[in-house]
Structure formats: structure tokens, C-alpha cells
Amino acid sequence: MKKIWLGTSLMLGLLAYTAGCAQNARLGNSGQWTGQYFGDVGVVGHGNTLLIQRGSRVWKLSIQGDNNFVTVEEGVTLNRIEFWGNGNTVSIPENLMVRETEIGGNQVIRRPMERRPTEDYLPGEVLPPEPPPAKAPHRVEAPPPEPMPEPPPPKTEEPPLK
């Protein structure tokens, strides 16, 4: 009877712990998941593979089980990694600083950042080409005003002839 009660308590405790540890819990064995995640992420089981894609903002990555492999792409925000098990591996970019909590033998691999080959430029190629000179604004000149017609001469009244 004690074994049943102990087993049930342990299962309920594990269920409560996994439900509370991650908003994005991945449960199972030998599963493969890829996606963009926000909040907490949990991997529970054995032999799982998880890829956290660029643009994810993960507060805490919790891994419970053995031989799980998690890859974190460049451009991911990750604050904390928690391990509970053995043989788990998390691969992160070398410039990502995270806090680690570990129970068991696990490893965090820091990958070198992708380095692009540099190109040799000639001295004139370093700067972008000069823009063409700006044209002066086109001025539209109004035609000269027409001269005002002269007013007609004033009418003078001559006296009638007699």
C-alpha cells in the first residue's frame, strides 16, 4: 500500500512540477520539435531533440530526463538553463550568456558565431559612389507684362458753328 501511495505521490508531484516549470512543455521520448518560443520552455523525457528558432524570447529552458539535445539559434534571448538528468546537451551561440542550474552530468556547448569572409576593397571602392550633382530648381519666368494701352485723349466740345 505504501508503494502505491508513494508512486502516486511521486507521479502527481512530477506532473505538478512539469506543469509549473514551463509554459511550452514538450513531453515524450525520442521526439523532435522546432519552433519559435516565448516564456518558459520545458523538455521532459529521454532522447528528445528541440530547436529554438531565431526571434524566440525564452526566460527559462528546463530539461528533465536523459540524453536530450537542444539547439538554440543565433538571435534568441535565453536567460536560464535548468538540467535534471544525465547526458543532456544544449548548443548555444558563443555570445549568449545564460545562468545554469544542473543536477547530473550535462553540458552546454558554445558554438562559434558565423563569421563571414572579409572582402578586400580597392581604395575607391570603400566609399559608396558620389551622388549626381543636384540640379538647380527650374525657374519658370513669367513673360513681361504687356504695356497698358494709352488712354484715349479727352474729348473737348467745340461750340457749334453758326
Q: 0.75 cut: is pTM over it? A: no
The reply to whether 93 falls in a domain is: yes
Interacting residues of 66 by C-beta distance below 8 A, sequence separation 6+: 46, 47, 85, 86, 87, 88
The reply to whether 67 falls in a domain is: yes
The reply to whether 43 falls in a domain is: yes
The reply to whether 158 falls in a domain is: no
> Could you tell me which of 125, 107, 96 has the C-alpha nearest to residue 63?
107
- Dmax (CA) for the chain in angstroms is 157
Please give the residue range of the domain that contains residue 70: 24-111
Q: What is the pLDDT along the chain (162 residues), one digit of tens a residue?
A: 566 766 666 665 555 555 445 567 777 788 899 999 999 999 999 999 999 999 999 999 999 999 999 999 998 999 999 999 999 999 999 988 898 888 888 999 998 876 666 666 565 555 666 777 777 666 777 777 788 788 877 777 776 666
Interacting residues of 28 by C-beta distance below 8 A, sequence separation 6+: 44, 45, 48
How many domains is the chain built from? 1
The reply to whether 17 falls in a domain is: no
The reply to whether 102 falls in a domain is: yes
Q: Measuring CA to CA, how many Å separate 129 from each of 70, 125, 133?
A: 46, 8, 12
The reply to whether 61 falls in a domain is: yes
